[in-house]
């Protein structure tokens, strides 16, 4: 019985639109990741020209020219993957080359690169090139019917598990470390950065004094740890998911601003799309397109609705903007507008707090007429 339920979950057909979006972002992130290796190769240096440490003596190392060619092939494959050109092949190739390069030396290993390998590996397993891709465009151009954009959901569930592990493992390791949870770690880093904050940032003295205050870090340490754990757990519940996604964006932006983390922030933010409900065009946005504002709204939603949340329908002249959610609840006017923006990846970060403050995310009182 349990196996049946597990098999049903793994095999449940869902939209892979989010993975298609992530594929595009991961392609660009991979190019960013490979860039330092390519820059070094252009200057005539590769990993084994100075200290490196192979993971295993039997791990194959290529001749110099072949290794450099492989890096360029990896970058080309990543671009093809982003474009969705020969998607299965280009994604598998990107994954293979990035993984090979990562495992060449212990000195190549970083958390962000490990996460990139995991994301690429799962994308390689999923048919994520059936939409938002050159492959789909070519197919349409040849007059062939589009491939079913839905597929068994197991790669998506697996990626959700991995994304959750990134935040959860990081948060848990800090939770069990007395120095971290007690604030010593962040306080010590702040103390080291105090002179730099004074000379290289516009922070006023009182702010620097607060940031380097030991008591402040007794709380800050706990807030950081609990934030990571909240993201890891909160992403799983529909009640807390939007808050967790919003916090995750703040978390990644903060890290990007204060630390050097290679591609972690870009990848972390891009991967948040996998938490969107994997169904498409199941909300109806009705807009009076006769009005200029309505016309603009349609243009914005069409351009930014990358996750294909909305089906847009023209409303009667003079009618308010209206959104019918997937559960049948209805929002009108300003509430509908804020709700629509809260479901677009680019505007969600700004619209979600407005939605929370105005409480318009509650189920609408207006029911749809039968």
Residues in contact with another protein by CB under 8 A are: 3, 6-7, 10-11, 50-53, 106-107, 109-111, 114-115, 118, 125, 152, 154, 157-158, 161-162, 165-166, 169-170, 173-174, 177, 179-180, 184-189, 191-192, 259
Q: Which is nearer to another protein, 211 or 307 (CB)?
A: 211
Q: Which is nearer to another protein, 268 or 315 (CB)?
A: 268
Name the 3-class secondary structure at 367. strand
CB of 314 to another protein, least distance (A): 40
Q: Which is nearer to another protein, 188 or 313 (CB)?
A: 188
CB of 187 to another protein, least distance (A): 8
Name the 3-class secondary structure at 148. coil
3-class DSSP string for 291-359: CHHHHHHHHHHHHHCCCCCEEEEECCCCCCCEEECCCCEEEECHHHHHHHHHCCCCCHHHHHHHHHHHC
DSSP element (H, E) containing 11: helix 2-11
> Helix count (H) and strand count (E) of the chain?
17, 6
CB of 216 to another protein, least distance (A): 15
Residue 367 bridge partners (DSSP): 329
CB of 110 to another protein, least distance (A): 8
CB of 217 to another protein, least distance (A): 11
* Residue 16 backbone dihedrals phi, psi, to 5 degrees: -100, 25
CB of 258 to another protein, least distance (A): 10
Q: Which is nearer to another protein, 73 or 147 (CB)?
A: 147
Q: Which is nearer to another protein, 49 or 327 (CB)?
A: 49
Angle between helices 184-192 and 214-234 (to 10 degrees): 120
- The count of other CB atoms within 10 Å of the CB of residue 4 is 8
In 3D space, the residue among 101, 99, 92 whose CA is nearest the CA of residue 41 turns out to be: 101
CB of 143 to another protein, least distance (A): 28
Q: Which is nearer to another protein, 8 or 205 (CB)?
A: 8
Q: Which is nearer to another protein, 67 or 115 (CB)?
A: 115
Angle (CA) 131 136 140, round 5°: 130
């Amino acid at each position: 019985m349990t196996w049946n339920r597990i098999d049903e979950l793994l095999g449940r057909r869902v939209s892979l639109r989010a993975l298609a979006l992530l594929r595009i972002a991961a392609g660009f992130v991979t190019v960013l990741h490979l860039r330092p290796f390519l820059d070094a190769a252009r200057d005539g240096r590769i990993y084994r020209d100075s200290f490196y440490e192979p993971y295993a003596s039997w791990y194959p190392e290529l001749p110099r020219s072949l290794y450099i060619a492989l890096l360029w092939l990896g970058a080309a494959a990543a671009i093809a993957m982003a474009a969705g050109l020969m998607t299965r092949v280009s994604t598998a190739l990107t994954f293979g080359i990035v993984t090979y390069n990562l495992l060449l030396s212990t000195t190549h290993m970083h958390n962000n690169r490990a996460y990139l390998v995991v994301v690429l590996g799962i994308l390689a397993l999923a048919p994520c090139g059936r939409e938002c891709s050159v492959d789909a465009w070519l197919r349409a151009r040849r007059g062939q019917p589009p491939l079913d954009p839905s597929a068994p959901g197991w790669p998506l569930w697996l990626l959700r598990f991995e994304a959750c592990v990134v935040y959860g493992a990081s948060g848990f390791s800090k939770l069990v470390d007395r120095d971290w949870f007690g604030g010593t770690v962040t306080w010590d880093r702040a103390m080291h950065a105090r002179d730099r904050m004074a000379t290289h940032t516009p922070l006023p003295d009182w702010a620097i004094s607060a940031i380097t205050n030991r008591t402040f870090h007794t709380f800050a340490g706990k807030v950081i740890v609990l934030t990571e754990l909240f993201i890891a757990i909160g992403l799983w519940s529909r009640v807390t998911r939007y808050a967790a996604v919003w916090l995750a964006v703040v978390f990644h932006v903060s890290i990007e601003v204060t630390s050097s983390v290679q591609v972690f922030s870009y990848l972390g933010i891009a991967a948040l799309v996998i938490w969107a409900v994997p169904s498409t065009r199941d909300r109806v946005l009705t807009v009076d397109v006769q009005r200029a504002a309505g016309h603009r709204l349609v243009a914005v939603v069409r351009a930014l609705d990358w996750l294909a949340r909305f089906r847009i329908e023209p409303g009667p002249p003079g009618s308010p903007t209206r959104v019918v959610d997937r559960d049948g609840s209805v929002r009108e006017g300003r509430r509908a507008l804020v709700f629509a923006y809260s479901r677009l990846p680019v505007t969600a970060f700004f619209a979600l707090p407005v939605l929370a403050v105005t409480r318009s995310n509650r189920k609408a009182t207006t029911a749809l007429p039968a």
